[in-house]
Chains A and B, each alone.
Chain A
Amino acid sequence: AQSVTQPDIHITVSEGASLELRCNYSYGATPYLFWYVQSPGQGLQLLLKYFSGDTLVQGIKGFEAEFKRSQSSFNLRKPSVHWSDAAEYFCAVGAKSTGNQFYFGTGTSLTVIP
Chain B
Amino acid sequence: KAGVTQTPRYLIKTRGQQVTLSCSPISGHRSVSWYQQTPGQGLQFLFEYFSETQRNKGNFPGRFSGRQFSNSRSEMNVSTLELGDSALYLCASSLAGDVVDTQYFGPGTRLTVL
Binds B, one of A16-24, A41-49, A65-73: A41-49
What residues of B have a CB within 8 angstroms of the CB of A84 in the complex? none
Please judge, given known A-B contacts A43-B108, A107-B42, whether A100 and B103 are in contact too, CB under 8 Å. Answer: yes
List residues of B (23-76) whose CB comes within 8 Å of A's CBs.
31, 33, 35, 42-43, 45, 48, 50, 55-56, 58
In the assembled complex, A63 has its CB within 8 A of some CB on chain B: no
Check B100–A32 contact: CB distance below 8 A: yes
User: CB within 8 Å of B: which of A37-69?
Assistant: 41-46, 49, 51
- List of A residues within 8 angstroms of B11 by Cβ: none
Counting residue pairs across A and B whose Cβ atoms lie within 8 Å, the total is 63
Is A104's beta carbon under 8 Å from chain B? yes
Q: Which residues of B contact A (CB under 8 A)?
A: 4, 6, 31, 33, 35, 42-43, 45, 48, 50, 55-56, 58, 90, 92, 94, 96, 99-108, 110
Can you list 15 A-B contacts (CB < 8 A)? A34-B102, A43-B90, A43-B106, A43-B108, A45-B105, A46-B104, A90-B43, A92-B43, A94-B100, A99-B48, A100-B55, A100-B56, A100-B103, A101-B45, A102-B35
Asked whether B55 lies within 8 Å of A104 as measured between CB atoms, the reply is no
Distance of B7 from chain A, by nearest CB (Å): 13
Chain B residues positioned under 8 Å from A107 (CB to CB): 42
Q: Note all chain A residues with C-beta closer than 8 A to B31.
A: 100
- Please state if A46 and B102 are interface contacts (CB–CB under 8 Å): yes
Q: What residues on A are CB-neighbors of B100 within 8 Å?
A: 32, 51, 94-96, 99-100
A49 to B90, CA, bound (A): 19
CB distance B99 to A104 under 8 Å? no
A113 to B55, CA, bound (A): 44
Are A98 and B56 neighbours in the complex by a CB distance under 8 Å?
yes
Q: How far is the CB of A111 from chain B (nearest CB, A)?
A: 17
Given contacts A43-B90, A106-B42, A107-B42, contact A100 B105 (CB under 8 A): no
Contacts of B99 in A (CB 8 A): 96
Shortest A53–chain B CB gap in Å is 15
Q: Is the CB of B102 within 8 A of A102?
A: no
